[in-house]
Amino acid sequence: MDELQCPACGETEELVGTTKNDLIEVTCQLCDQKWERDPNAVPGCDRCGGSDMEGAIKAIVEKSRGSQLSIVATQVVYLCKVCDEKVLASYRVGRSPLMPDQLPTD
């Protein structure tokens, strides 16, 4: 899933959200831009433009000792049922978290 960013200035860190009905009102602390977002909305595919998406769990990993990697957190990502067909098929079989596209090297 894409990182949340201010539509006016592109800021990704200095954002504050408050609940307003079933939506979240987000305020950028840098430029004071405000907008609403639906936390339950499923994003569309940025490659094919399709809307047939499926949620999957992706691992966030860090090196713990030597070359050993540890899962330190997970996040929900949405995969396109057309563009990511093979990845989704594999995920559905084991339901193990997907590994990140790049692994830490340090």
**Domain positions in the chain:** 1-41, 53-94
Helix (H) or strand (E) holding 65: strand 53-65
Query: d(Cα 40, Cα 53) in Å, to the nearest integer?
Result: 13
pTM: 0.60
Per-run averaged pLDDT (10 residues), the chain, 106 residues: 72 90 90 86 86 88 83 87 94 89 77
Q: How do beta strands 68-80 and 34-37 pair? A: unpaired
Structure tokens at 29: 């602390």
Please say whether the beta carbons of 83 and 45 come within 8 A. yes
Mean pLDDT score across all residues of the chain:
86
